[in-house]
Each structure stands twice: as structure tokens, then as C-alpha cells.
């Protein structure tokens, strides 16, 4: 079983909020005692309860669909998959505890964490444990830096900001742009900064930039300022939880402002799940979301995934579910290409050198990986109207 000095790491967190600065012990990779060589234990960490549970449950359920499919066709390299998703409630310190539990359980490889703060809290320990991680959705640029064995399926934040600016320039040219972002959230700040930099290059200026803090619950002043600015596009690089409050207040008279019917509220992957957060579907009208996944795609691989997900969970998969599904299949590709047929042999370093030689087409697009863990892939935008999402412009 792979071991790390997880108690030491946890103790260090009491004295420091920066988990990336903690250290772990070296790993003994040849002592798998909790399961047989023909079993492959895959772990994951994320919020499956709490305010951000929509993200964690989507990743978990998408991964579970893939695990079931793969096991039905012989597993990975002849190894049967057992999958465990540990609840972090979105708390980085709880993610450290969850990582320790998964190590004790016998985790061989990991789909990492769901949120970026969680990933930053465990990635250093995972490097010391030679643990290969392919996160479905931890998107902050820096959250993989402490390990050469950490990769991602999702967009990274600076790429999303640039892609969003390019999308506005190409598909909504000449429209007035304002911004509303969370100034104490790394995800929101990262997207805003890269969006702003790219907009400057493209000659796009902002009418106003409004910010809020996590502790804020009343956005009246910001909403009025955004409406007074005359913006036709409001860039909102925030999570669905905060976006639902903002949209409800913006459209239901909490503020004095009235936005026109043609005002777009444009965000990135953090908006996924917005329909499950707003009380009235019309509150999300004209929300545009940058995404690599469209559930109504005619691609056979996407159609198969959507059908099986709906049958299993009674709902339509979102981008996070699709990322979780792809993460499991990428693990299959990299483990089999590396030639592993026994879990006790698996080396995170070897998997890391292997993944950079792969090209994989999943339900979220075609992916290749750089040594820094990132993948660039195409994106489009979904627009919501009366509770339904469709590809913008089609």
C-alpha cells in the first residue's frame, strides 16, 4: 500500500493554510496488501455534500458510468476497477484527510479532486507518494505545479479567460462589456485577469468592473452599477452558487436595475449546474457558458454517455459529469499504453511520461497533454432559455 506521512501533513495544516508548502515521506511502491494485483483501486475527492455538491456529484456519477462500462468489457489491463469518491465538502483540509483515507484504502491511481483549492492541498503529498492524478475539474493554473504526476481533463483558468475573450470578439463583436467577479476566490480572479489581458490585446474595453466577496449576500450596488454602465455582455467568472444569487437579485427586483432582454451573462465552467441552483428557470435566461461539452451533440460517444447517465441517475449530465467520465477513460488509455496488467507495478512517474504521448478523443473533445499537466481543446458556448440549454448561434 502506498503510504505518506499524512498525519504530519495534517498537523502542518493547523499552523499553515498553505498546504502546498507541506511535505510528505517517500513512498514504498511494492507493498500492496489491501487488494489483489487484478484489482485496480481508483480514488477521487470532492464535495458531495454542501454548497458545491453539484460539482462533486456530477464528477462522481460521470466516473461511475465509465467504471461500469469498462468493467463490463474486461476492466483496465485485465484489472477490475473499484472506485471510491471521498466527500471533502469543498474544504481543502478535509481533502487532505480524504486523501489519507484513500491511501489507507489502497488507492492505486486517482482522478484527483474536484475543486482547485482541494487539489492544491493534496498535490504535494501525491508527488511524494508517486501517485498519478488526472483531475476532472481542478482548473486553477497553479494547483498542479507541486507534482509532475498531476494532469487535468478540464480547461485551465487562464485558457478559459483567453477563450472567453476570443469568443466575445468573434461571436458578439462590438457589444459593450462589463465584469462582475469574486475578488477573494482564486478561480474567479484567475479567469478575470486572463480575460482582461486578452480583451486589452483585442481592443475590448470594460464599461465597469464590479467585485464582491464570499461573505457578501446583497449585490444591489454592483447590479445597479452594471445596469447603469449600459453593458450588453456581463462577464461573470463565478460559481453557480453565487451566480444564482446574483441572477435572482438582478432579475427579480432586489435591485433597482433592469437589464434588457438582450443582455448576456457570460461565464465559464463554474456556471455549470446553474439550472439546479436558480428557483425560477427564467432567471438563467441569456446565461452563456463556455464549455467543451454539449449534451445534445450528435456524436455517438456523447449520445451513448448521455443515455447511460440519464438511465442511471434520471438527469442529464453536465460538463463536470462529462469530465469525470473522460478522466476514467484516460486512466484506462494511459495504464494500458504503459503496459500495466497488475496494480502492484504501477508507477506514477511512468504514467506521467506516457500520457504526454497520448491523443484521446473523449466526450469533452480531443485531448493531448503537456508536461505541465494542461490540455488545450476546443470549446463552444451554451445559452440557456426557459430552462433549456442549446449551442449559441444554432
The secondary structure of 222-236 as a DSSP string is HHHHHHHTT-SEEE-
Query: What are the pLDDT digits (tens) for 210-234?
Result: 999 999 999 999 999 999 999 999 9
Q: Give a yes or no: residue 386 inside a domain.
A: no
Same domain, 150 and 16: yes
All three cell numbers of 151: 494532469
Residues in the chain, how many?
394
What is the domain count for the chain?
A: 2
Query: Over the range 238-260, which residues count as b (16 or more CB within 10 Å of their CB) and which as e?
Result: bbbbbbbbbbbbbbeeebebebe
Please measure the distance between the N-terminal and C-terminal CA atoms of the chain and give it in whole angstroms. Answer: 51
Give the alpha-carbon dihedral of 245, 251, 255, 261, to 10 degrees: 140
Q: Is the pLDDT of residue 37 over 80?
A: yes
Same domain, 332 and 237: no
Q: Give a yes or no: residue 107 inside a domain.
A: yes
**Long-range contacts of range 35-38, CB-CB < 8 Å, 24 or more positions apart?**
35/82, 35/106, 35/343, 36/343, 37/79, 37/342, 37/343, 37/344, 37/345, 38/78, 38/79, 38/80, 38/342, 38/343
pLDDT number for residue 172: 94
Note whether 343 and 296 are within 8 A (CB): no
Q: Report the candidate in 121, 196, 122 with the shortest Cα–Cα distance to residue 158.
A: 196
pTM for the predicted model, two decimal places: 0.81
Lowest mean pLDDT among 123-127, 170-174, 245-249, 279-283: 279-283
In degrees and rounded to multiples of 5, residue 172 shows phi and psi of -135, 50
Same domain, 10 and 150: yes
Give the domain extent around 343. Answer: 6-155+300-368
Q: How far is CA 348 from CA 19, 22, 56, 126, 205, in A?
A: 21, 20, 24, 9, 45
Same domain, 118 and 80: yes
Q: Is the pLDDT of residue 44 over 80?
A: yes
| Lookup result for grid cell 468573434 | 170
In degrees and rounded to multiples of 5, residue 42 shows phi and psi of -110, 125
Q: Is the pLDDT of residue 179 over 60?
A: yes
Same domain, 94 and 217: no
What is the chain's mean pLDDT, rounded? 89
Same domain, 147 and 178: no
Same domain, 249 and 305: no
Q: Based on the number of CB atoms within 10 Å of its own CB, is 74 exposed (0-12), middle (13-18) or buried (19 or more)?
A: exposed
Same domain, 304 and 329: yes
Strands (E), the chain: 39-46, 80-87, 109-113, 133-135, 150-152, 177-182, 206-212, 233-235, 264-267, 287-291, 359-362, 365-368, 380-385, 388-391
Same domain, 218 and 255: yes
Same domain, 89 and 142: yes
Q: Give a yes or no: residue 389 inside a domain.
A: no
Note whether 392 and 380 are within 8 A (CB): yes
| Lookup result for grid cell 439550472 | 275
Same domain, 190 and 283: yes
Amino acid at each position: 500500500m502506498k503510504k505518506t506521512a499524512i498525519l504530519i501533513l495534517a498537523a502542518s495544516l493547523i499552523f499553515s493554510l498553505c498546504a502546498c508548502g507541506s511535505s510528505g515521506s517517500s513512498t514504498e511502491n511494492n507493498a500492496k496488501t489491501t487488494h489483489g494485483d487484478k484489482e485496480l483501486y481508483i480514488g477521487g475527492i470532492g464535495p458531495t455534500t454542501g454548497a458545491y455538491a453539484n460539482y462533486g456529484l456530477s464528477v462522481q456519477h460521470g466516473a461511475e458510468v465509465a467504471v461500469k462500462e469498462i468493467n463490463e468489457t474486461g476492466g483496465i489491463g485485465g484489472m477490475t476497477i473499484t472506485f471510491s469518491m471521498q466527500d471533502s465538502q469543498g474544504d481543502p483540509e478535509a481533502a487532505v484527510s480524504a486523501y489519507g483515507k484513500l491511501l489507507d484504502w489502497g488507492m492505486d491511481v486517482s482522478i484527483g479532486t474536484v475543486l482547485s483549492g482541494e487539489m492544491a492541498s493534496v498535490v504535494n503529498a501525491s508527488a511524494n507518494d508517486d501517485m498519478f492524478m488526472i483531475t476532472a475539474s481542478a482548473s486553477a493554473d497553479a494547483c498542479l505545479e507541486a507534482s509532475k504526476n498531476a494532469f487535468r481533463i478540464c480547461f485551465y483558468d487562464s485558457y478559459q479567460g483567453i477563450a472567453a475573450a476570443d469568443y466575445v470578439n468573434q461571436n458578439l463583436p462590438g457589444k459593450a462589456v462589463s465584469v462582475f467577479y469574486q475578488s477573494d476566490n482564486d478561480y474567479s480572479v484567475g479567469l478575470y485577469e486572463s480575460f482582461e489581458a486578452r480583451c486589452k490585446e483585442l481592443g475590448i474595453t470594460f464599461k465597469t468592473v464590479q467585485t464582491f466577496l464570499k461573505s457578501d449576500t446583497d449585490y444591489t450596488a454592483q447590479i445597479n452599477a452594471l445596469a447603469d454602465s449600459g453593458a450588453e455582455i456581463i462577464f461573470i467568472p463565478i460559481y453557480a452558487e453565487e451566480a444564482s444569487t446574483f441572477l435572482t437579485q438582478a432579475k427579480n427586483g432586489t435591485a433597482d436595475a433592469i437589464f434588457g432582454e438582450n443582455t448576456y451573462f457570460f461565464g465559464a465552467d463554474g456556471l455549470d449546474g446553474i439550472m439546479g441552483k436558480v428557483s425560477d428557470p427564467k432567471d438563467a435566461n441569456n446565461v452563456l457558458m463556455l464549455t467543451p461539452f454539449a449534451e445534445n451533440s450528435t456524436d455517438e460517444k456523447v449520445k451513448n454517455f448521455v443515455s447511460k447517465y440519464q438511465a442511471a441517475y434520471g438527469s442529464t449530465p453536465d460538463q463536470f459529469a462529462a469530465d469525470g467520465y473522460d478522466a476514467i477513460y484516460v486512466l484506462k488509455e494511459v495504464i494500458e499504453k504503459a503496459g500495466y496488467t497488475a496494480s502492484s507495478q504501477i508507477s506514477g512517474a511512468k504514467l506521467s511520461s506516457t500520457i504526454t504521448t497520448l491523443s484521446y478523443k473523449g466526450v469533452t473533445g480531443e485531448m493531448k497533454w503537456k508536461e505541465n499537466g494542461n490540455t488545450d481543446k476546443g470549446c463552444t458556448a451554451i445559452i440557456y432559455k426557459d430552462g433549456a440549454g442549446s449551442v449559441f448561434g444554432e
